[in-house]
Amino acid sequence: MKQSLDHDLLIELRTEVANIRNDIRELKDNTTSRVIQLERDKADRKEVEELQKKVNEDIDIRVRTLESSKGLYFNTMIIGSTIMAAMTTLIIYHILQK
């Protein structure tokens, strides 16, 4: 009877070890596939630096455009104000001459 129990226990242990091996193999395969996918999806340092350079250049262009349009607006306001002051002076001069 004892030999039968020992034999049954060995069979159970062998089955459990086989199941554990299969579980470990599945975990290993899943981990490997996840690492491969992460490596495919990762951004290379050089790619990130190039993208950052392009973004910085775009920002510089936009800032320069805003600064130049602000300067143009300021110059237009000065010229417009000067013309309005000259016209107002001429109108007052003509009104006071009569």
pLDDT digits (tens, 9 = 90+) for 31-71: 888 888 888 878 778 888 899 999 999 999 999 888 888 88
Q: What is the dihedral of CA 44, 50, 55, 61, to 10 degrees?
A: 180
Instruction: Say what the pTM is.
Output: 0.41
pLDDT confidence of residue 74 = 87
Q: How far apart are alpha carbons 74 and 32 in whole angstroms?
A: 62
pLDDT averaged over every residue in the chain: 87
Is the pLDDT reported for residue 23 higher than 90? no
pLDDT confidence of residue 42 = 80
